[in-house]
Structure 1
Amino acid sequence: MLVLVLVLVLVLVLVLVLVLVLVLVLVLVLVLVLVLVLVLVLVLVLVLVLVLVLVLVLVLVLVLVLVLVLAPMLSRMPALFFSYFTAWG
């Protein structure tokens, strides 16, 4: 009778240990998944920020080029236009 009780207690302890190990493994897997999701979100945010910075830099360069190239042309055009009509007028 004592042996049967000891065997039952041993089986219960083993089952409890297995359940605890399974719960710990599940918690670890969930933590790893959460960490991976956070890392992916951070990487996506960094990529979006880099893309926005690149787009802003490209727009700034385009505006500067347009201002530096077109401003002299546009500043000459009214003078040419005015001198053309004053020469004929």
Structure 2
Amino acid sequence: MNPTINRMTLVFLGVFVVAVIGVGVWTVGWAIPAKRCESNHKWWDHAQRVCATPVLISDITGRTIQDKQAEAAARAAVGRPVSKQP
């Protein structure tokens, strides 16, 4: 067979192997942790690969949400249970 064809076969095979390894690393390193993080109602940062817990503004400021429906919706959005206060 022509040596150029053999060389091109090896080049394409090498590129394919590198691409498959790259997709595997991306899946294990970014896609699976992102899916797990977002299923737990947290924020995933792709750049730093960090799973962060969302914080309500009322937790930072100490001010409470006066409307109970709005508070329940905000807590549900960040994945927290609604507190049952009398």
TM-score under structure 2 length normalisation = 0.45
State the structure with more CA Rg: 1
Higher helix share: 1
Higher strand share: 2
